[in-house]
Amino acid sequence: MRSRQLSVISYQFVIILLVITVAGCGGTPPEPEADTLVADQPATPKARRDLPVAILPGGRPLTLELAITQDEIGQGLMFRSSLPENRGMLFLFREERIPSFWMKNTLIPLDMVFLSAEGTVVDVIHNARPCPTDPCPQYVAKAPAMAVLEVAAGVAESHGLDNGTRLFFKGVPGFPREVAP
């Protein structure tokens, strides 16, 4: 009698497990949050809308990483093995200044686009080369800048980023600044 009760309980247990397993397999996995995305991984369409974007001449969007804190600015794009043409890093400063950059520990050539507070290009350094050993050259803007956009080498030229070009930004807090009339 006891053996028969165990068989019935075991059978019921197996049925319950099957129902739970089948019910748990349905549905769509949730989309990742925008702040959990890694730069080298593609974003889902929903998350991509939440990321900061620069709008290049011709309307092409460029997904951005922001460098705002001293640590983020100091790290920049160091140790990255690649940078897709549709990505970039925007360095934001509290006030306009003549920024100086170098390529120490940067593994990929970059274009540096220096921007005024209004988002207008004030200088471009094309094809800044990686610097494996000291001393590394300094890349200094020819005019005061409020931000620097780093993109893969060749992107600035291929999209017409030159002095006087105005870029537009979405999702970048406090940039560009409004110009008083």
104 within a domain of the structure (yes/no):
yes
The average confidence (pLDDT) of the chain is 80
18 assigned to some structural domain:
no
| Comparison of pLDDT for 29 and 178, the residue scoring more | 178
Determine, yes or no, domain membership for 16.
no
Q: What is the pLDDT of residue 166?
A: 96
Range of 87's domain? 34-170
Question: Given this model, what pLDDT does residue 49 score?
Answer: 57
**177 found inside a domain:** no
Domain total in the chain: 1
DSSP string for 68-88: -SHHHHHHTTTT-S---TTEE
- Beta strands 87-97 and 53-55, pairing class: unpaired
What pLDDT was estimated at residue 50?
77
Look at strands 61-67 and 87-97 and give their pairing: parallel
pLDDT band at residue 178 using 50, 70 and 90 as cut-offs: confident
Tokens of 25: 């397999």
Q: What is the DSSP string of 122-176?
A: EEEEEEEPPB-SSSPPPEE-SS-EEEEEEEETTHHHHTT--TT-B-EEES-TT-S
Task: Give residues with Cβ within 8 angstroms of 114, minimum separation 6.
Answer: 99, 121, 122, 123, 124, 125, 141, 142, 143, 145, 147, 148
Residue 116 forms part of a structural domain: yes
Beta bridge partners of 152: 110
pTM of the predicted model over 0.85: no
Q: Any idea which of 34-38, 58-62, 172-176 has the lowest mean pLDDT?
A: 34-38
Query: Domain for residue 131, yes or no?
Result: yes
The radius of gyration of the chain from alpha carbons, rounded to an integer in Å, stands at 25
| 146, 96 Cβ separation under 8 angstroms | yes
166 domain residue, yes or no: yes
User: Which CATH number goes with the domain that contains 69?
Assistant: 2.60.120.1140
Q: Is 6 part of any domain?
A: no
